[in-house]
Structure 1
Amino acid sequence: MNDHATPVLLLNPPRTTTAELLAQAAAWRGHDVVAHARQAEGRETYWYGGPLAADALSGRLGLGLLEPADDWLTTVPQDLLRRSVRLTTLAGARSLGRPAFVKPPSEKIDLLPAAVYEDASALPAALDDGTPVLVSEVVEFAAEYRLFVRDGEVAAGSRYAVHGRPDPAPLDPRAEAFAREVLKATADGLPSAVCVDIGRLGDGGWAIVEANMAWFAHCYAAEPDRVLDVVLRAAGPLPRVSDRDRPFVRAPRTRPNERAAR
């Protein structure tokens, strides 16, 4: 029988490689690692998994899931962004007459992969016009890095791609230096536990890529135990969320409507 005083890390199946690494780190700390919500009910519960399942379970389990605001990327200093970005709707993206990088603001939508769309005809017709999207000027990142951030500091990090292809490796000093610059300028607008991606451009300059929820981010080559520190802060019991983080607590989402034609 499980001890109800023991904290729980709930990992919704199927498990990813990152989930397995976090499970090992959590078990080493003495957490019970479980796969079903019924095993977590009435207990101090933490979450790692997708947003759809999180929306279904967060109220039932009393979770406070932290995430950046949908429009955060549009608010950062231009010298750290190095491109134009705006939050609009799929209808707005369809009105563009030029190639653009289009993505959902804070989570994946199967029918709308984050990608460069050459024109409006390439955007999925099966999604409702009101679906929120971020539309960005097209830039090429030579290398991309993931930062797991806690209290405005990089707790763990990793390179994850080179020229758009997966290539995990430890953070290098240049990435760490730019990360410090980014967090000094932007941490006040982010939850205390979050995932921030940065990248080196083809011209050698650096830019912010995006920010996402830490509780649904791959760790790549980052140290799993340090990643777990961020995940536990970002996806734990709602009563433990600080006043500062309350504005960043995720409200369960209404899923974008898919049109009848499939």
Structure 2
Amino acid sequence: MELLAVEAARRGMAVLAAEEVSAAEGPAYWYGGPAAGARLAGQLGWALLEPSDDWLAELPQEFTGREVRAATVLDAWTLRRPMFVKPPRDKSFTADVYADGSRLPAGLDPATPVLLSEVVTFAAEYRLFLLDGQIATGSRYAVFGRLDPHPLDRHEPITAEIAEFVDRLVAAAGPALPSAVVVDVGQLLDTYRPGHRWAVVEANMAWFSHAYAADPTRVLDVVMRAAGPRDRVKPADLPFVRH
């Protein structure tokens, strides 16, 4: 957040915390949590672009590398085997592998949407900020589940592999995403196949995604499209406006 604030200030933009905002002069943009973003959206006139809750579940297994389905907390409570369970958009509970449905946090609304995913191992995971279907910038963020940020280097062979995978993904499922979005991808280990293969981890709102080691200049470009003035939203992005 600090790096994006520095870049915004360099562009001559005023940077304010949510609790400091009463009114904005000129166009306003948001980078922060969904609750405050939704509360201020009407007041400050921005539109928040969000991928649909079931986007990952609707992808062909060619891109997910595992079984993923959209469900509710009520469905998750019936699980009798380990499953990776996460809220599709917000952070209402911790995304994790749960041994069974009884291990989910107490007090959840049974109607809360969740994604249920087969348990797999990602050797490395990368956060990609996409703008109009192209990678604007990106960063490795984890190795075998442990935080390990590293910027994407266009000269590294792995960057070309990621770009080729994203090109295929966008060609197949790009219209089902907003024009400014974050997609996390990873190297999926497979006991029965040598090497690794690429798979989608998840899609996220650009305005609520950690940049890790990505270029903050390009991250801000994506964030400003994903959470900017409502009257500037492209027609194709209107279905992805939640507030």
TM-score by length of 1: 0.85
Q: Which has the higher contact order (CA 8 A, sep 6+)?
A: 2
For 1:1-262, list aligned pairs within 5 A: 19-35=1-17, 36-38=20-22, 40-109=23-92, 112-171=93-152, 172-173=158-159, 174-203=161-190, 204-251=196-243
What is the alpha-carbon distance in structure 1 between the residues aligned to residue 174 and residue 78 of structure 2?
33
On the 8 A contact 1:42/1:61 being kept in 2, the answer is: no
The secondary structure found in structure 2 opposite 1:48 is: coil
Aligned amino acid, residue 49 of structure 2: L
Aligned amino acid, residue 241 of structure 2: V
On the 8 A contact 2:88/2:114 being kept in 1, the answer is: yes
| Structure 2: tracts of 5 or more residues without a match | 153-157, 191-195
| Structure 1: tracts of 5 or more residues without a match | 1-18, 252-262
TM-score by length of 2: 0.91
Per-residue displacement from partner, 1:159-186 (whole Å, max 9, x unpaired)? 0000000111123322233222222222
What is the alpha-carbon distance in structure 2 between the residues aligned to residue 186 and residue 120 of structure 1?
31
What is the alpha-carbon distance in structure 1 between the residues aligned to residue 209 and residue 61 of structure 2?
25
Question: Aligned in 2, Cα 1:176/1:170: closer, same or farther, shift over 3 Å?
Answer: farther
What is the alpha-carbon distance in structure 2 between the residues aligned to residue 48 and residue 236 of structure 1?
10
On the 8 A contact 2:65/2:188 being kept in 1, the answer is: no
Per-residue displacement from partner, 1:225-256 (whole Å, max 9, x unpaired)? 000100000000111111110000023xxxxx
Alignment: residue pair count = 230
The secondary structure found in structure 1 opposite 2:70 is: strand
Deviation at 1:42, TM superposition (A): 4.6
* Seq. identity, %: 57
Per-residue displacement from partner, 1:74-108 (whole Å, max 9, x unpaired)? 11121011111111111101112111000001111
On the 8 A contact 1:45/1:63 being kept in 2, the answer is: yes
The secondary structure found in structure 2 opposite 1:49 is: coil
What is the alpha-carbon distance in structure 2 between the residues aligned to residue 131 and residue 45 of structure 1?
30
Query: More displaced, 118-127 or 218-227?
Result: 118-127
